[in-house]
Amino acid sequence: MREPIFTGACTAIVTPFDESGAIDYKAFGSLIEDQIARGIDAICVCGTTGESATMSIREHIAAVEFCVKQVNHRVKVIAGAGSNDTSAAVYLSQHAQDSGADALLHVTPYYNKASQTGLIKHYEYIADRTELPILLYNVPGRTGVSFTAETYRILAQNPKINGVKEASGNFSLLAHTRCICPDDFYIWSGNDDQVVPMMSLGAKGVISVASNIVPEVMVKMSHLCLEGDFHAAAKLQIEYMDFIDALFIEVNPIPIKAALNLAGRNVGGLRLPLCDISPKNLEVLRASMERMGLLA
């Protein structure tokens, strides 16, 4: 029986950039250390929040290697390796494996709008060429394609596919997946505003944006759910809803980088085509952070 890569809260960590636009490894190391010190269960590097879409292949590989080395086995490291080009996804997967990452996160191929058969072939091809466990990543709002529960059932038969980061917001899909897939095909929430309801249906935790700022909150929320105390977890979910909403007032990771800068973490800016948060939305974010006591 497969064991889950992690349970609880995993931070989809941002990638800090310096004034020239290069990766700021000093700031990156500081962020990683802060996450571990504050009790996070795992770190996901080079995902959506890490701006992998605007990284060169060389940068992507280097960022994964740096994160793995900095973490040094203290928590699990999940390396983003997804692509709409299957061969590129294999290349990133093999380099992540060589770096010592614990698992891979593979988003559904974007833009191509693959059929369900194409998705199955894509993931089986990757699984055949890596030894690391794979987390599928379903975020149709970004990629234009969603898994079906039946596709999950088929992919769950592959021992290297550990489960899915489910960010579709589709609770019917979640329920049907839990119904027809084996118990050792694990699910994690990919939405910070849906942690508790998803875990009530069997999810094992969350891969979180908000935990870049409040890792201890997301750890506590998810661990309360794992302990069966959904009442206390729901109170925490509701308490932080305003802040979570503010973190998605514009497309991720624009607000979370702004929030980290407001909190004094100095993670720099974004790479085009992403740009700085609008002044109006920055004030909404600032006000929410002030109410929660999160400003520097």
Name the helix (H) or strand (E) containing 204: none
Contacts 24+ apart (CB under 8 A), 64-73: 64/95, 64/96, 64/99, 64/101, 65/99, 66/25, 66/28, 66/29, 67/13, 67/28, 67/32, 67/43, 68/99, 68/100, 68/101, 69/99, 69/100, 70/28, 70/29, 70/32, 70/33, 71/32, 71/36, 71/43
Q: Is 111 a catalytic residue?
A: no
Specify whether 137 is catalytic.
yes
User: Cα-flanking dihedrals φ and ψ of residue 183, to 5°?
Assistant: -65, -25
Cα 35 to Cα 177: distance, rounded to the nearest angstrom: 31
| Set 76, 160, 165, 257: catalytic member | 165
CA 137 to chain centre: 9
Q: Give the bridge partners for 43, in sequence order.
A: 11, 77
Candidates 123, 137, 186, 240; catalytic one: 137
- Give the catalytic positions in this structure: 137, 165
